[in-house]
Amino acid sequence: MAAKTKRTFVCAECGGASPTWRGQCPRCGAWNTLAEKLGGPARIPGPDGLPSGLPIVLGDHPGADFKPFPTGIDGLDRVLGGGLTPGGAVLLGGEPGIGKSTLLLQLAGLAAAAGRRVVYVSGEESLPQLKSRAERLGVLHDGLLAASTTDAGAAVDILGASPAPDLVILDSVQTMHAAGVEGPAGSVSQVRAVAAACVEAAKRGDACLILVGHVTKDGQIAGPKLLEHMVDTVLYLEGERRHLFRILRVLKNRYGPTDELLVMEMREAGLNEVPDPSTFFLGDRDPAVSGSAVVMAMEGRRPFAVEVQALAAKSFLSMPRRAALGLDVGRLHLLLAVLEKRLRLNLGQTDIYAKIGGGLKIADPGLDLGIAAAVLSSFYDRPLPAGAVFWGEVDLSGRIRPAAAHDTRLKQAERLGYGPIISPDGGKGRPKADNLGDLARLLFS
């Protein structure tokens, strides 16, 4: 029996294929361009206009100019690896109300003021709402265009418009709906389809696309994990809404570093970069109070001083309470067990609470020594030496190991005038703490 001939309808404009005839091409949106072709679909052009799937000599490819353009925020350019790349796709995630839309509207205004064509597509706010917020932020400009729609096809048309925009912001991908795809807006199928269509449209042109993504209860960007694989850069804006600071982290970056962060401060006129966050999170710290230690922490490539607070109080419960804010409670339990074992302390009748000052959340192993010092200070009710700074990792034997980027932390601590500097790597007359016993003798003997 002869094999059945496969029927395919190919678009005369873009080469896109469809298994059935349609009045409108599902790829480029052109009308009445689909024609039947026997023998299988035609190859779809790739982002560079060449047929996709055909191998070529990589060295012979003409390449493309991916020179990024500045955002107008120096710290953001550093985080992104030089700025926004034409044809690139960026995903920005964060909790509701943390300032994602504010940051992007500021970015759009700065790009428009620099003479670039910017389109802000909002599926969450109306145009009057956008204008009101833009006026408050002072970013209204003739080059800043806006659209309020939840139609993913409209966003694709904007990305492929002529003249092409330099920057398109889609706020947010979970509010957009793609025609012909089952499920409501925000479902896995819709998020996948909307992101794929928009990213593909950005890759075909020179527009930089920024997608805003919602987050789930556990802090992950909502939607399929494929969403993060589709884009070139993944950013995450975090912080406590009741605090003024915000931290922009890089989780993925094809054009720059992945261990950078940007510290910003929320003000009435928007988010302002904190140029030197070295001591920003110490606040009005009182060194004469027990249970407070300064740690030179590393977040990405940047060191800055943070305050580790601890409170040890007599417990009236059968099982004493242990609580931690800004650090892993499992780490606190581990350090308390090591302190109790190696220093022969009786912590079984003591409630112990620990937190990072300023509402920060830090996972740096170098915090261990500062947490131990703060707990001991509160337990003995004796303040630590004024100006003392700590860093080091504590293992289960009670030994203190050097933390990563020791030299970077040391240079920053010396620049800020801290002393004594207590770390497992002493030198130059500095106190050296090899284990928790040495730490207790240095601080409380």
CB 248 within 8 A of CB 236: yes
Sheet holding 270-273, edge to edge: 144-148, 118-122, 167-171, 208-213, 89-94, 233-238, 245-253, 261-267, 270-273
CB 373 within 8 A of CB 384: yes
Check whether 97 is labelled as a binding-site residue: yes
Check whether 445 is labelled as a binding-site residue: no
Residue 263: closest CA among 233, 303, 231: 303
Dig out the tokens for 153 from the structure: 């096809």
Q: Could you give the CA distance from residue 349 to residue 121 in angstroms, rounded to a whole number?
A: 58
Check whether 73 is labelled as a binding-site residue: no
CB 198 within 8 A of CB 227: no
Check whether 100 is labelled as a binding-site residue: yes
Dig out the tokens for 286 from the structure: 């009182």
The helix/strand/coil state of 286 is coil
CB 39 within 8 A of CB 55: no
Check whether 160 is labelled as a binding-site residue: no
Report cis status (omega within 30 of 0) of the bond before 172.
Answer: yes
Tell me whether strands 302-314 and 350-356 are parallel, antiparallel or unpaired.
Answer: antiparallel
Tell me whether strands 389-390 and 302-314 are parallel, antiparallel or unpaired.
Answer: unpaired
Residues marked as binding? 94-101
Residues marked as binding for ATP? 94-101
